[in-house]
Amino acid sequence: MLKIEKGERSYLSTKKKKGIFYTFLFLVIGIIIFLIGYFLNKKSTANIFTILAVLMALPGAKMLTNVIVLMPFHDVSVEDEQKLLLLLPEHSELLSSVVFTSTEKVMNLDFIWVWDGYVYGCLGKKDQDLAYMQGYLSKGIHNYVDHYQVKLFEDQNAFKKAIKIATAKGCTKEEREQVMEYLLSLII
């Protein structure tokens, strides 16, 4: 099976499935360890196996937390992504089905487009704080490259129109790579 990378269309559904699988795996392993210790120590829970079983709950809880955070969000459709890919200029990057967090909010974008001086995004869920999200991304990106324009759109049609009228600003490949690296680091 091919590994799905951050920013690819089916990343969210794959991450949810893996999270559920590993949550149950850690739960089962923890129960098995606990039962082994329980029966090896004459039905007593005061043993090292109990501690190991409890420690198995930690990675399971982390996986379950990721699943819970991602549950309200869904991957974009293949059709929407294909239509958008036809509009993109050469040497541009498209991230799909993006979910990232700040200390205050969980944010979802259907698409993030990165090109020569531009980072445009299209909201996934419509009831999000657009100004906060745009400010959060702008501040982070401007820590690496200060002349990239960051703009988020609530509507896919406005997003597509903005891509069509964008003109190259003469940014370097290294700058685009820094921006992409930052954006990928945000995705949960």
- List of residues 6+ apart from 49 with CB closer than 8 A: 33, 34, 36, 37, 38, 40, 41
Cα–Cα distance between 80 and 76 in angstroms, integer?
A: 7
> Are 95 and 5 within 8 A, CB to CB?
no
Containing 49, the helix (H) or strand (E) segment is helix 48-70
Cα–Cα distance between 128 and 142 in angstroms, integer?
A: 22
- The tens-digit pLDDT sequence of the chain (188 residues) is 568 899 998 999 999 999 999 999 999 999 999 999 999 998 989 999 999 999 999 999 999 999 999 999 999 999 999 999 999 998 899 999 999 999 999 999 999 999 999 999 999 888 899 999 999 999 999 998 988 999 999 999 999 999 999 998 988 889 999 999 999 999 99
Strand order across the 106-115 sheet: 93-101, 106-115, 118-123, 149-153
Cα–Cα distance between 34 and 24 in angstroms, integer?
A: 15
- What pTM was computed for the model? 0.85
Cα–Cα distance between 121 and 42 in angstroms, integer?
A: 60
Q: How far is CA 13 from CA 75, 81, 143, 163, in A?
A: 7, 16, 31, 27
Q: Provide the pLDDT for residue 146.
A: 87
